[in-house]
Structure 1
Amino acid sequence: MELKKIRSNTLFSMFFKQLLWLSAGVFIEIIIFVLLFYLGLSIGFILPADYSQNYLVQNKALISESEPFDKTLIPHTCKYGLFDFSGNYLSGDLSKAAVEDAKAFIKDSHSGDRRFFLINTVNGYCIVNYDMLAHFSSYTLDKFFPKLEVIILVLFAIIFMLIVTDCAFRFERKLKKELEPVLYEISQIQNREINLVHNNSRIKEFNDILLSLYDMKTALSQSLKKEWETEQKRKSNISAIAHDIKTPLTIIKGNSELILEEEKIADIYQFAEIINSNSDKIERYIKLLIDETKNDLKEDSAEKTNINTIITDILNESKELCKTKGIEIIISNMELDAEADVNKDLIERAVINLVRNAIEHTTFEKKIKINLKGVEKCFIVEVEDYGKGFSDEALKYAKNQFYTERTERNEEHYGIGMYFANMVAEKYNGRLSYYNKPNQTGSVVVFEIKF
């Protein structure tokens, strides 16, 4: 399964679009500043850079003839100084440095770095110091903001920075929004919270990452599922082995009691041999438990085994189990001289579980029947009891793990036997079936494997 394909852009195109927006913003800012500047010029709010020079040229005669000197004739954008014919400074608002430059200018109009305009007066000279800069037409504004160009440049820079910052924040928000599904996928993988939902991004590079993360999540999901199934299987194996240990323990306990009651030494030896045999079986089961807790159990540890050997062991253990419970066992056995690659212990445990269940449920008649046979590379065991049979619910769920008809679990029944037998049957391409006997009490369970 793949993520849904959606229309997406590259990081380059996204960045380029943002750059275009920035350029457009700056261009609009320039246009607005230019328009406002020319509007200020047109309405007289701003004086042009050559205003002072043009004014002085136009009003030179008027200023020259002013007597006494009228300083209001000098524009507020200029500074002036009155000098006598000897070059001595009389009055004005020039700075000391400007006064010295003005004196030099009187002597030589080409000297000095400042802009001066000389006007002859009745009593001497009027030297006006002017600049080629734009000014506010308002005296007050020009006093506080004498360098209009600097103010415009500073204001332009401030607005430019605001535009850049806004574009940066917008780009950051877009990038974060597109990164959210990527970060969400990564956090899910980190927390192993696998939710296989399609997440997409409108940026191609992020979408490619999401596709890779989705593949990673799918693989991780499968891995976690397999890990969970393995753990569940391991727990199930431990439960089944622990459950099966009860069978040899029952036989050991029964034979121990018989030894206490028996006086014949030959029979005591026989009972002791049975105890010893089942003690070995418990030892094997405990080893399986230890291996399973270490997760080292090799379930497929199959080996060439003669089916008759399995049949013999099943019958011997079934007889001993029935003997300890005071149950009669009726055996119908067809020898099957064949070999198969199977796990002998698994098959024996599965069938003994069914025998144990039959013994527990054969209440009306104290007997069970076991029928063993082989048909076309199939090994079949039928276990028949004489109890009340399966309930309607049990007929549906008897093979489920931990299912039991009893309201409480006790040391005799955990709902594992049928489940385990079914697992072993399916392991060897067989099946476990069961039914109630028609027109009589009891039920029949059929265990079948193929080899």
Structure 2
Amino acid sequence: MAKRQRSVSLSFVLLRFAIVMLCCMLLCCLVWYFVMVRFQNTGVTYQGAVSNQQVEQMLAGEPTTFVSPGNDFLAEYALFGRNGEVLESNVEGKKLEVLAGCLQEDANSIDVSRHTYADGSTVILRWHFRAEFVNPVLRDMLPPAEYLGLATLVVTLLLCLLFNTLWLRRRLAGKLKLFSEVSKKVGAQELDFTIPHAGIREYDQALDAMEHMREALYRSLSSQWEAQQEREAEMAALAHDLKTPLTLVGGNAELLLDEKLPESSRKMVETIVVSNDRAKQYVASLLETSTGANEAFENTCLPTMFDELCQSIIAIAEAKRVCLQTQNGLKGAASIQKDHLLRALDNVVKNAIEHTPAGGNVYLESSMIDGGWQVTVCDEGPGFSKAALHHATERLWRGDAARGADGHNGLGLWFAAQVAKTHAGQLELRNCDSGGVVTMKFC
């Protein structure tokens, strides 16, 4: 296994995230501070103490008459007559009620001042230590400059936190995606690949464990594949070697039938001929299933392939006096092992014809489905037994009396299932009201 690249711990990643986020927030605060100072220096906003200074200037020397301040006066004021009526004010509503309350309390506070003039009128002034816009239009339209600046700072800090969190989430999610990709490949038994480097120590430790699992599974499947290939080769060689002696036995038995034999001897020779024919069929099936596995995948027109299947089967159906009902719903092309697939479908359809009584129907239909296509074969035979529904696709299984197992070698449906798997598909068995149904689905 290749040497892993350098990794950092997850705690270091989180610490780095926290430091970067704090630095970004500090930078935002510094930028905000310099902008606020710049606004004050360029005359966009007043400093926070200007309101208090204006009040002190207005009341300096204890004036005897009230002089209305200009539009640049920041403090809230109200001039009340002897009887408490409002003579002049720059506020209204609740703010005016607050100033009237200060008049009745007859007390000063840190942000409220009062002064009584010679004519008996009293002015109440209330100021705030905060930055305000110099432009009176902006003061009327917008919140105080200091509050607006603080709100902008809070929003900026929240956005900074959000962007940094999304960055961390994206980075960690990208690393976690490696586990999903590796799991999918291992689940699909696509083991000839190298597990990537995550760069985070805890993640890489888990990926190392998955790498060991991948290597072990790769070795196991490779050995199984080699053993299976060896068994297939041995079986093919054995079947090939059996052809010659079986041919000799059959030929000699047929020659004996041409001779004048006692009735008991003739029956024994006939039994030899029948058994020899069955053995030859079995050997032919073994040879058929052991060849073609290495056929190349080629882009093939599906409707044409289905028509070829129908043409190759129709003569067998007529010989069995079975009506073959076909419906070609395939479209387009697919990458398939054409000869291998036709042989598998041929086995399925022949099996349906053999189990359908004379005068019955076999329905051979093909159609496009979501994400792929399928071929369905339905007969009017006895259907599958419960055991067959679970075991009929196993190699050499011949235990289905309902389907007339005599004369069958248990390779047809197994071979069809193997071909379906080779094409990333599956073979399904079920029963319907009329008989058995076999469906081969392909992605």
TM-score (norm 1): 0.53
Q: 1:235, 1:61 → 2: CA distance? A: 112
1:125 aligns with 2:122: yes
Question: Contact 1:251–1:278 (CA<8 Å) still a contact in 2?
Answer: no
Equivalent AA in structure 2 for residue 195 of structure 1: D
- Cα shift at 1:88: 3.1
Q: Give the residue type in structure 1 aligned to 2:114.
A: L
CA distance in 2 between counterparts of 1:261 and 1:280 reads 18
2:17 is aligned to 18
Deviations 1:115-134 (A, max 9, x none): 43223435322322322332
Corresponding position: 1:70 with 2:68: yes
Distance 1:97 1:21, change over 3 A: closer
Q: Relative to structure 1, is the Cα distance of residues 10 and 285 closer, same or farther in structure 2, using a 3 angstrom cutoff?
A: farther
User: Which position in structure 2 is the counterpart of 1:145?
Assistant: 142
> After superposition, what is the alpha-carbon deviation per residue over 1:361-386, rounded to whole angstroms, capped at 9, x for unaligned?
xxxxxxxxxxxxxxxxxxxxxxxxxx
Match of 1:161 in 2: 158
Q: Structure 2 matches for 1:257-406, cutoff 5 A?
A: 257-260=254-257
- CA displacement 1:297-348 (0-9 Å, x = unmatched): xxxxxxxxxxxxxxxxxxxxxxxxxxxxxxxxxxxxxxxxxxxxxxxxxxxx
For 2:45, give the aligned amino acid: I
- TM superposition shift of 1:143: 1.6
Give the Å deviation of 1:205: 1.6
In structure 2, what is the Cα distance between the partners aligned to 1:285 and 1:241? 13
Whether the aligned pair in 2 keeps the contact of 1:79 and 1:128 (CA below 8 Å) is yes
Cα distance between partner residues in 1 of 2:161 and 2:189: 41
Deviation at 1:59, TM superposition (A): 2.9
- 2:27 matched to 1:28? yes
- Structure 1 residue 277: deviation in Å? 9.3
Structure 1 residues 161 and 39, CA gap change in structure 2 (3 angstroms): same
Separation (CA, whole Å) in 1 of partners of 2:9 and 2:209: 17
- CA shift for structure 1 position 97: 4.9
Q: CA deviation at 1:114?
A: 9.3
Q: Per-residue deviation at 1:14?
A: 0.9
Q: Which amino acid aligns with 2:21?
A: L
Number of residues paired by the alignment? 287
Structure 1 residue 39: Cα displacement:
3.4
Is residue 76–residue 126 contact of structure 2 (8 Å, CA) maintained in 1? yes
Deviation at 1:104, TM superposition (A): 5.2
CA deviation string 1:272-316 (max 9, x = no partner): 9999999999999999999999xxxxxxxxxxxxxxxxxxxxxxx
* 1:29-178 correspondence to structure 2 within 5 Å: 29-61=28-60, 64=63, 69-72=67-70, 75-95=72-92, 97-99=94-96, 101-103=98-100, 105-106=102-103, 108-110=105-107, 115-123=111-119, 124-178=121-175
Tell me the amino acid that sits aligned with residue 155 of structure 2: I
Q: What amino acid does structure 1 have at the position aligned with 2:162?
A: T
Q: CA deviation at 1:17?
A: 0.6
Secondary structure, in 3 states, of the residue corresponding to 1:153? helix
Give the whole-Å Cα distance in 2 for the aligned partners of 1:155 and 1:282: 93
What are structure 2's unaligned runs of at least 5 residues? 289-443
Q: Distance in 1 between matches of 2:273 and 2:101?
A: 130
Report the alpha carbon displacement of residue 263 of structure 1 after superposing the two structures with TM. Answer: 6.6
Are 1:203 and 2:170 an aligned pair? no
- Change in Cα spacing, 1:150 to 1:107, as seen in structure 2 (3 Å) is closer
Q: Is the 8 A contact 1:3 1:198 kept in 2?
A: no
Q: Tell me the amino acid that sits aligned with residue 112 of structure 2.
A: F
Aligned residue for 1:171, secondary structure, equals helix
RMSD of aligned C-alpha atoms? 4.1
The residue type paired with residue 245 of structure 1 is L
Q: What SS class does the counterpart of residue 128 from structure 1 fall into?
A: strand
Per the TM alignment, residue 103 of structure 1 is displaced from its structure 2 partner at its CA by: 4.8
Structure 1, 138-147 or 37-46: larger mean CA deviation? 37-46
Give the Cα–Cα distance (whole angstroms) in 2 for the partners of residues 63 and 43 of structure 1: 33
CA contact (8 A) 1:133 1:149 kept: yes
Looking at CA atoms only, which structure, 1 or 2, has the larger radius of gyration?
A: 1
1:184 aligns with 2:176: no
1:3/1:200 contact within 8 Å kept? no
CA distance in 2, matches of 1:98, 1:171: 48
> CA contact under 8 A between 2:77 and 2:90: conserved in structure 1?
yes
2:220 maps to which of 202, 218, 223: 223
Whether the 8 Å contact between 2:239 and 2:287 is mirrored in structure 1 is no
Partners in 2 of 1:167 and 1:104 — Cα distance? Answer: 49
Query: Which stretch has the larger CA shift, 217-226 or 230-239?
Result: 230-239
Percent identical pairs in the alignment equals 19
Tell me which residue corresponds to 1:239: 236
One-letter amino acid of the counterpart of residue 147, structure 1: P
Q: CA deviation at 1:141?
A: 1.9
In structure 2, how many angstroms separate the alpha carbons of the residues matched to 1:107 and 1:273?
134
* 2:373 alignment partner in structure 1: none
